[in-house]
């Protein structure tokens, strides 16, 4: 997790606030991009950029919550720290449920803000790592033969070889061979790792 490789996007309709936040974050060594409207932000934002968004809620035209929904719908995994002038509980609940990293209110303690920003960037990194891991698993999974995929599904569901053989109508030994190949192809060494990979791929056991 290296802060220097990531960008903190600031979005606040109040230029003074924007400037102050930028100063604070820059002083802590963050790379900062500041925007006074959601529109300008969306125009310049590139999804591959690693970073997080510090967002005021009360903005004319498109408010913070609406922007969050928009980003989510667009598939942009940008961790968001909400920093409204004044927020209320329903608003904070909605934000957090929609995936916000934190919900702070102005005036905000610098330590709290920095902690939130760091957490957001951390999550950004994690999200990026997770995404690349899933991509690898998908590639590996794609290399499985249909029979192997079948066997894997039964294995991660917790069935014994004998049970799998019975279900599929093939010999127990053959199952053993398929299973070894699945383990090899998926790059896992234990059944536990295979189950986790299956989960990442979105395969439900059973």
Partner 1 sequence: MFAGHEFAHTRIVWRHAGLVLPAALCYSCGRMSWVTIIWSMIAAVSATLATIYLLIWFRERRSWAYLCFFVLAVGVIGMAASEFAAMHAKSPTEYGAAVRWGHFANGLMAVGALGFVHFYFGTGKGWLLGAALGLRLLAVVMNFCTGLNLHIGSIQSLQQVNFLGEPVSMLGVWTLNPWVRLGQFAALVQVIYVVDASLRLWRTSARESRRRAVMVGGTLAFFTLFSSAQAGLVAQGVLRMPIIVSFPFLAVLLAMSWELSLDARRAAQLGRDLRESEQQMAMATEAANLGVWVRDLTRNTILASDRWRLLFGFTPAERLDLEKFLQRLHPDDREIFRQAVAKATNGDGRYEAEFRVMLPDGGMRWVISRGQVEFNSGGKAVRVRGVSVDITERKRTEEASRNANELTAAIFNSVPGLLYLYTEDGRLIRWNRQHEVMTGYSAEELLNFRIEEWFDEENRLKLAQEFPKIFSEGYTQVEMSLILKNKQKMSVFATGSKLILDGKPHMVGIAVDISARKRTEEELAQHRTELSHLSRVATMSELSSSLAHELNQPLAIILTNAQAAQRLLAQNPPDVAETREILADIVNEDYRAGEVIRRLRAHLKPGQTQRRPLSVNEIIEEVLRIGRSDLIGRGVTVHTALAESAPQVLGDRIQLQQVLLNLILNASDAMAGNPPAQRHLTIATAHRDGWVRISVSDNGCGLPAEPERIFQPFYTTKKDGLGLGLPICRSIATAHQGRLWAESNELAESSPASPRAGKGTTLHLELPAETEPNP
* Part of the chain binding partner 1 (CB under 8 A), chosen from 16-24, 37-45, 152-160, 172-180: 16-24
| 202 lies in the site for partner 1, by CB under 8 A | no
Among 19, 39, 162, 173, contact with partner 1 (rule: CB under 8 A) = 19
| 36 lies in the site for partner 1, by CB under 8 A | no
* Part of the chain binding partner 1 (CB under 8 A), chosen from 17-25, 32-40, 131-139, 174-182: 17-25
Beta bridge partners, 33, equal: 9
Residue closer to partner 1 by CB (options 21, 52) is: 21
| 55 lies in the site for partner 1, by CB under 8 A | no
| 107 lies in the site for partner 1, by CB under 8 A | yes
Contact 57, 82 (CB under 8 A): yes
Among 1, 5, 23, 171, contact with partner 1 (rule: CB under 8 A) = 23
| 147 lies in the site for partner 1, by CB under 8 A | no
Among the listed residues 37, 48, 41, 42, the one whose alpha carbon sits nearest the alpha carbon of residue 15: 37
Task: Give 35's contacts (C-beta < 8 A, 6+ positions apart).
Answer: 9, 10, 11, 18, 41, 44
* Angle in degrees, CA 197, 203, 205, rounded to 5: 95
Q: How far is the CB of 80 from partner 1 (least distance, A)?
A: 18
| 31 lies in the site for partner 1, by CB under 8 A | no
Query: Could you give the residue ranges of the DSSP H alpha helices within the chain?
Result: 15-27, 38-44, 64-74, 89-97, 110-142, 146-156, 161-168, 172-185, 191-200
Task: Give 201's contacts (C-beta < 8 A, 6+ positions apart).
Answer: 134, 137, 138, 141
| 62 lies in the site for partner 1, by CB under 8 A | no
Binding site for partner 1 (CB under 8 A): 14, 16-17, 19-21, 23-24, 27-28, 58, 60, 85-86, 106-110
């Amino acid at each position: 997790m290296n802060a220097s490789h990531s960008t903190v996007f600031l979005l606040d309709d109040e230029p003074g606030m924007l400037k102050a936040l930028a100063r604070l974050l820059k002083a802590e060594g963050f790379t900062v991009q500041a925007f006074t409207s959601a529109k300008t932000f969306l125009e310049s934002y590139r999804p591959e950029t690693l970073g997080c968004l510090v967002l005021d809620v009360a903005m004319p035209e498109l408010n913070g919550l609406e922007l969050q929904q928009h980003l989510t719908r667009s598939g942009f995994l940008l961790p968001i720290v909400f920093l409204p002038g004044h927020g209320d509980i329903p608003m904070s609940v909605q934000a957090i449920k929609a995936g916000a990293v934190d919900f702070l209110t102005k005036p905000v303690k610098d330590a709290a803000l920095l902690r939130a920003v760091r957490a957001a960037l951390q999550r950004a990194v994690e999200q990026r790592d997770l995404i690349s891991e899933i991509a690898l698993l998908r590639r590996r999974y794609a290399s499985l033969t249909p029979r192997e995929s079948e066997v894997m599904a039964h294995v991660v569901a917790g069935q014994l070889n004998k049970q799998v053989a019975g279900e599929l109508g093939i010999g127990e030994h053959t199952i053993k061979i398929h299973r070894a190949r699945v383990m090899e192809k998926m790059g896992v060494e234990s059944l536990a790792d295979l189950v986790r990979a299956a989960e990442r791929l979105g395969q439900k056991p059973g």
